[in-house]
Amino acid sequence: MNKLNEIEGLNISENYLVSPFYVFFIICTMQVGIGILGFERYLVETAGFDAWISVLVAGGFLQVLVWVMYRLLQNGGGDIVHIHKQVFGKYIGGFLSLLFAIYALLLAFDVMITFIEVIKVWMFPGLQVWIFAFVMIGLVYYIVSGGFRVLTGIALISIVIGLPILLLKFFPIQAGHTMNIYPNIEHSPMQIMAAAKQSALSFLGLEFLLIFYPFIKDPHKSKKWAHFAVFYTTMLYFISVLVTFVYFSEEQLKQVVWGTISTWKIVEFPFIERFEYVGIAMWLYVILPNVCIGIWGATRVMKRVFPVKQIHFLRFTCISLFFPVALVAGRDPINAINNFIGTVGFYVLLYIPVLLLLKTITDKVRKRHEH
Amino acid sequence: MWKWMRKNKKKQGDQKPSYNESDTLPEFIEVLGKSEDFIQFELDGTTRCTVSYLKTMSDSKILNRSVLTTLNSHDLHSLKEIKETIPVENVLITDDLKVIQTKVMFGYIMIQVKSSVDKVLLVPAVSLESRDVGIPEVEFSVVGPKEAFVETINTNINLIRKRLPLPQLTVKELQVGKMTSTRTAVIYIDGVADKDNVDTVTQRLQDIEYDQLVDSSFITQMIADNSNSPFPQLLDTERPDRVVSNLAEGKIAILVDGSPHALTCPTTVVEFFGASDDYYLTWHLASVFRLIRLFAVIFSVLSTPLYVAVLTYHFEMIPPELMATIVSSRSDIPFPPILEVIILELTIELLREAGARLPTKIGQTIGIVGGIVIGTAAVDAGLTSNVLLIIVALSALASFTTPVYQIGNTIRLIRFPFLMGAQLWGLVGVSMCMVFYIGHLIKLQSIGRPFFEPLYPLRFKDLKDAFIRLPFPKQVERPVLMRSEDPIRMNKDRVKAKRDIDE
Amino acid sequence: MNIKWKFFVLLCILLLSAGCVPSKSVEENAIVQISGYDRGGDGGRIKGTVSIPQYGKSEKKTAASELYLTVDANSIKDVEKEIQKQSSKPISIGKLAVTLYSMELAEEGISDVIDVLSRDARLSRNMYLGVVDGQTQDLIENGYTQDETTSKHLQGLIENNIHHNFPSTSLHEFLYAYYAIGMDPYLPILAQKESFVEISGIGFFKKGKLVTTLSDAKVFTFKMMKENFTRGMQDLPFQEGTIMLDNIGSTVDYKLTGTNENPGLEINVKLKSEVNEMVGVEEKPSPQLAEEMEDAFVDYFKTNADEMIELFKKEGIDPLGLGHFAKTRTRHFDEKRWEDLYPDMDIQFDVDVEITEYGIFS
């Protein structure tokens, strides 16, 4: 039923496919990660309280990107490894695919160290990082070894559990100064675009579609879900930005490192106070799919490039991730890594339209040769 | 590195395929002859033959009234003549040693004549000693039928069939267990149940390589998709009504002779929290009770771990009003919260275990006396805080709300990893444990069907009868999980036809 | 199972047991709920006083007993360190509910304290700050009620007043105003009156320094100008007696007027209220009387508000956040210029009082 099946290495048995509907959850959960806990500050530094426009601009750009990706994949693409092979040939294509795999790994790595940093700052300053990393990577290994279907399930649970946390936005709005959001565009388009680039970094994760596309049943039907997912996350980020803008004053927000966590601090119920502890603990559900799908994607690409079982790659990556995760510590190196990966991710996003262009050209050339 | 794992995998092919097989008929009789209850005598009257049977298994009424009377009053010379004369149904003549052996072991009377050496006549005279059908004790319900399965498979099938008088109700019988040859029936409705499911179940039953099969719970463990999971992957019930409604949904039931429990599959995790009561009450009530049960289970698993996490690491979360209560109740306790909780949890488990082993009446007394005396004494002695005592008692109580006994045991167990997680990293540890269990549940399968079903894969149609139970007119379709061959239960249009006012 | 697997599992368990974050459970901590800072004596720059509630065994839990510790130190974190020396249990400031500063200290500036409060992740943002007219040590150590700890009492005191006459305040709001452009923070002033504490007014800050105060009687007017609220009372001499106004809904609206070069502001307040005390008023309630009372209140509020605005202009502070408001309505808001213009700015205050009820007896 699926024309991808004809491509070698992409014939995935029916049992392991997921419905197109789940594309929504996977993309959402990949996009919403650790970034949402503290991205407001970086936006405000560049574009002040006009940053909400940047979020919308970034969202619009991502919608275009989804279209590009589907175009790329539907034109007999399959997945990124296959496209690379078609466009660049076996060796260069393989090399580029490996770079993509490394990028996926870096993303997973980044999410993990940032989450550990959050836990250290907000909960346990004396956390034994290497033991925590050990357990967390063990958990990731257990989930990833279940295959893509299990990952989809975790993604679904992550979104479902993440929803109630959204409702907590009600508390800061109540305590907020709604006049802060009055549209009053003070920043130049350049600044707003720069902030849009900044916010695009929090939106990373979309590009994994290039890897898991063959796992979707009736992939063409999933397109609307992907667009909807991007819309949903854009709205999520948009609301988060607005809420923090309402809650904090501009100069104050520039000094608040984790804006969203700080807004949880005022949530109070008769039986529980100080919701940030619960929020951070629950955030594990949100970031875990990021890490898992990141590692899964990386190992999947490696499997497609080299003829070795994925489980071996998985073991290898888990062990090799453990040491850097356990060793990296401190605000400054983590910020540096965040920025680096953000920049890399931005270029990866830009690379996708380029790839589409190259692919169209090679297809045309090839066709002419055939004639 | 992984080489050492493979060492164990050496095949052990030198075992006998089955214990109870002799090579010849005389050999079989000789082996049996060593038992005192094997009777063999020759009739020298009008009919000359040898009658042999197991005294403890055969019904002496049939022997005396039908067999011996006939044999003595008629002049019969061949097995065929005897077969025609004896007034018992289903008499058969065979030379198949395997059949002879099984039948005799079940209580058939074997008649041999001199003229034919190999062939024997088998007269069914099985004595059916069984308990009367009683009321369900594990899955008690206030309304609804009060019949429960017993240890005899025939009675059990009878209990199902009389509720489901359908020719399509198919009973496949297998003999499982190399020593016990236990009669095991796979029951399903042909045309409703999915063929693949039936095949999977039959296949797995046939593949069982174990010598004894004393109870249906053996089967639960042996044919489970993941036998290392604490979650039971087949639903275990003693209520025929529950089995019947499951069959009608397209599920498959497994009955085992000697076990008063039926197994149904494929099942999902939410099914373990549904009681048969839910269908006997109106849907609002049933839905609310289901939600209460679900909440009780969550409370039971998470309350003590949260207590440990909050008191050990996150006491900022306690509101000031509660702070005074909690701190003053804990002020003289010499142990850290984790130790306090483990001591108390183990005490409760102890009471529960002791109560389960003792006869009902004493068990109850022990439970009450133990609970009150030990609890009060522990608080008075300053070993545990009374806040915790309340929490532990409530969580124990909540774990009893599960309608299926098996999952109750699971809930007892799974809170201990949560406790460890809570002690390790507070709420993050609890969260990690939860993720692990969710991942595990997503991975689990029941007869190849997803165990975490209406949640993942997310099937809104099946959510109609998961956490809430919608009214019957809404349950038009059978659950998607079963991939039923006939998914529609009733005519949707007729159900939905609406009357106008005053019509 | 293989021996190696068992060994591995054992190793994991050992590893995990080593992974515990060192911690003491709740009752083993000295939970500081209130802290106060005075100007230090010889021992250091500041003098910190904390109160730690002592929870007894369950029977006696109604009676509140507290432990008061006072130390001299050089900085806020130093106070914590010094107090640690006097405590048998580790000090935990996670549940700090009220922080007080003496008037002297507040006049010198509390920026360093604010920095600590906004930096520490363990602190609640709903904490109350306050300025004490007098010594915080005396106020904390006084002990007010039998069945409440001082912190709970003070917390309740401020919280209750926020719901009535006093404008809302908390650590978060203080920080918001402290960092915001065109907005200055304010805090309640607490004063000890023999055996009880009362909120005696508002203290206005400029860049972390207390510059001026407002007495209790004018707080209602300030709150009216600051935020929408539904409770609170204000009395007023009327004819030969006194009338008491009971607010049932007040809304405030700011409006930017004037040009960009010469901006002005309008503050419009709509107040719905009941009058439920009319001591010494001979007349029967009637529409005319209501109108008279309304006019009297309008006059009173206007005079008060204008005085207040003049005071703010004179001190160069903006607790109402007018600049902050203007910033959201002006393109390229120039903070410097606004501050220059502020003292001579035309700020109009207008109030509309509507009296709807006179109680159940006339």
Q: What is the pLDDT of residues B384-420, one digit of tens each?
A: 888 888 898 888 888 888 888 888 888 888 989 999 8
SS (H, E, C) B392-422: HHHHHHHHCCCCCHHHHHHHHHHHHHHHHHH
User: Max Cα separation, chain A?
Assistant: 76
- Same domain assignment for residues C126 and C256: no
Answer whether residue A90 is part of any domain. yes
In-domain check, residue C149: yes
CATH of the domain at A48: 1.20.1740.10
Q: Which of B306, B308, B317, B467 to mutate to test the interface with A (most CBs of A within 10 A)?
A: B317
User: pTM of this prediction?
Assistant: 0.89
Interchain pair A126, C328: CB under 8 A: no
Cα separation, B411 vs B299, whole angstroms: 11
**Contact criterion met (CB below 8 Å) for C33 and C98:** yes
Instruction: Name the closest residue on chain B to residue A21, using Cα atoms.
Output: B458
Of the candidates A222, A269, A239, A300, the one whose C-alpha atom is nearest the C-alpha of residue A55 is A239
pLDDT (0 to 100) of residue A151? 93
Q: Are C230 and C246 in contact (CB under 8 A)?
A: no
Asked if A263 and A176 touch (Cβ cutoff 8 Å), the reply is no
Asked if the structure places residue A370 within a domain, the reply is no
Q: How many domains does chain C have?
A: 2
DSSP state of B65: I
C-beta atoms of B439 and A119 within 8 A: no
User: Looking at the structure, do residues C255 and C197 belong to the same domain, yes or no?
Assistant: no
Whether residue C323 is found in the same domain as residue C353: yes
The angle that helices C111-119 and C76-86 make with each other, rounded to 10 degrees, is: 70
- The ipTM is 0.91
Question: Which pair of structure tokens corresponds to residue A160?
Answer: 């479902």
Whether C223 maps to a domain, the answer reads no
User: What is the DSSP track for B257-313?
Assistant: TT-S-EEEES--GGGGG--GGGGTS-HHHHHHHHHHHHHHHHHHHHHHHHHHHHHHT
How many domains are contained in chain A? 1
Going from the C-alpha of C320 to that of each of C186, C315, C330, the distances in angstroms are 10, 13, 17
Which of C183, C215, C247 terminates a domain? The answer is C215
Contact B327/C94, CB-based, under 8 Å?
no
Looking at the predicted structure, is the pLDDT value of residue B24 above 90? Answer: no
Q: Which residue of C has its CA nearest to B324?
A: C55
State the CB neighbour count (10 A cutoff) for residue A128.
Answer: 18
Nearest CA in chain B to C15: B424
Could you tell me what percent of chain A has a pLDDT over 70?
96
H-run or E-run covering C289? helix C287-315
Q: Check CB contact under 8 Å for A143 and B432.
A: no
Would residue C6 count as lying in a domain? no
Question: Is residue A143 scored above 90 in pLDDT?
Answer: yes
Contact B496, B473 (CB under 8 A): yes
> Under an 8 A CB cutoff, do C179 and A249 touch?
yes
Q: Are C186 and C56 members of one domain?
A: yes
Cα–Cα distance measured from residue B63 to residue B123, given in angstroms and rounded to the nearest whole number: 9
In a domain, A364, yes or no: no
Same domain, C167 and C315: no
Closest chain B residue to the Cα of C151, Cα to Cα = B320
A368 assigned to some structural domain: no
Q: Which domain holds residue C295?
A: 228-362
**Hey, are the CB atoms on A250 and C19 less than 8 Å from each other?**
no
Q: C28: nearest CA in chain B?
A: B331
Instruction: Tell me whether residues C16 and A135 touch, CB distance under 8 A.
Output: yes
| C227-236: pLDDT as tens digits | 888 888 888 8
Q: What's the rounded mean pLDDT across residues A75-87?
A: 82
One domain, residues C201 and C237: no
φ and ψ at residue A104, rounded to 5 degrees = -60, -40
Taking CA atoms, B118 is separated from B24, B25, B32, B51, B111, in Å, by 9, 8, 17, 15, 11
CA C208-C213-C218 angle, 5° bins: 135
Considering the domain architecture, whether residues C52 and C112 belong to the same structural domain is answered as yes
Q: How far apart are CA C257 and CA B277, in angstroms?
A: 70
Q: CA of C274, closest CA in chain B: separation in Å?
A: 35
Read off the CATH number of the domain in which C299 is found.
Answer: 3.30.300.210
Partner C contacted by A168 (CB < 8 A): no
Structure-model confidence comparison of residues B434 and B496, the more confident one: B434
**Domain residues for A86?**
19-354
So what's the pLDDT on residue C64?
63
Q: For residue A54, what pLDDT is reported? A: 87
In a domain, A371, yes or no: no
Average pLDDT over chain B reads 85
Distance of CA B206 to the CA centre of its chain: 18
Separation between Cα atoms, residue B205 and residue B216, nearest integer Å: 12
Please say if the pLDDT value at position B185 is more than 90: yes
Residue A107 lies in a domain: yes
Map out the domains of chain B as residue ranges: 25-123, 153-267, 279-449
pLDDT score recorded for residue A8: 57
Q: What's the confidence (pLDDT) of residue A136?
A: 92
Largest CA distance in chain B: 99
CB contact under 8 A, A135 and B443: no
**Using a CB-CB distance cutoff of 8 angstroms, which residues of chain C are in contact with residue A37?**
none
| Among the listed residues A277, A185, C226, the one whose alpha carbon sits nearest the alpha carbon of residue B430 | A277
Contacts of A282 in chain B (CB under 8 A): 431
Residues forming a β-bridge with C30: C91
**Integer Cα distance of B60 and B42 in angstroms:** 17
Provide the 10 A C-beta neighbour count for residue A231.
Answer: 16
| pLDDT, tens only, C257-299 | 877 778 888 889 898 888 877 777 777 777 888 888 888 888 8
C interface with B, Cβ–Cβ < 8 A, is 2, 4, 16, 19-21, 23, 25-27, 29, 31, 33, 53, 55-58, 60-61, 92, 94-95, 97, 122, 124, 152, 155
**CB pair distance less than 8 Å for C180 and A249:** yes
Assess whether C252 and C330 both reside in one domain: yes
Cβ-based contacts of C60 with chain B (< 8 Å): 328
Hey, are the CB atoms on C61 and B328 less than 8 Å from each other?
A: yes
Give tens-digit pLDDT for A10-52. Answer: 677 888 888 898 999 999 999 888 888 888 888 888 888 888 8
Chain B residues in contact with C56 (beta carbon < 8 A): 328, 331
**Bigger pLDDT: A371 or C92?**
C92
Structure tokens at B196: 């693949």
A134: closest CA of chain C, how far (Å)? 10
How confident is the model over A257-313, as pLDDT tens digits? 888 888 888 888 888 888 889 989 999 999 999 999 999 999 999 998 988 899 999
d(CA A196, CA A346): 11
Q: Test B425 with A127 for CB contact under 8 angstroms.
A: yes
